[in-house]
Amino acid sequence: MLTFYMTPGSCTTGIHILLEELEELFSVELVNLMAGDQHTPAYRQLNPKGSIPMLKLDGGQVLTEFEAIACWLAWSHPKAQLLPQDPLSAAKALELMCYAVSTLHMQAFARIFTPERFSVDDSAPLEAIKAEGERRVKEGFDILSQQLAQEGYACGEFSIADAALFYVEFWADRSAIALPERVRQHYELMLTRRAVRQVLMEEGYRI
């Protein structure tokens, strides 16, 4: 059985959605980031990065990083078609996923949620860092709105890109940050999926 290390409402929500989409059998280990669970010796032994998400495979191997886990799930379940078969479309799905994680999450929302990480010498006002994060979030979604398929999911059919996009859209919604119309349509479409509704319920959120 797979073991999924997650924090409700975090980036792990995207991986949680993929696991439910696949109806994969897995157990959950909750990681309380505020309590510092990611820094415990037991966790660091499995994942020296002290990061989430983390997936422990049946054979004991450990996968970290959202993109790596999402790709492994897609490649391990080819019939689910979590990545388009066409090479260019697959590359586009990976492009959107990486943009959601590396730019919207790590460079934009991270400034809003953990501004102290971006104040190296403690001289930058935290509110200014948060404001810059919000600017980057809005700019990032504006760019994203031009890259999504005109209708339906991010690349036309549901893929791993949609799971990554959903968690940053969810953060925007919870932070009262307006989404561009095309991105809002994508977010609302995702909210109709059974797996997404199930994950939100399991993670303690009202739909």
Distance CA 69, CA 191 (A): 22
Domain of residue 10, CATH code = 3.40.30.10
Structural domain boundaries enclosing 52:
2-80
Of the candidates 58, 80, 102, which is a domain's last residue?
Answer: 80
How much is the pLDDT for 206? 84
Global pTM?
A: 0.96
pLDDT digit string (tens) for 101-131?
A: 999 999 999 999 999 999 877 667 999 999 9
Give per-residue pLDDT as tens, 135-190.
999 999 999 999 999 999 999 999 999 999 999 999 999 999 999 999 999 999 99
Structural domains of the chain, count: 2
Statement to judge: residues 101 and 40 lie in one domain: no
Do 71 and 109 fall within a single domain?
no
**Which residue reads 């073991």 in tokens?**
3
Would you state the pLDDT for residue 119? 85
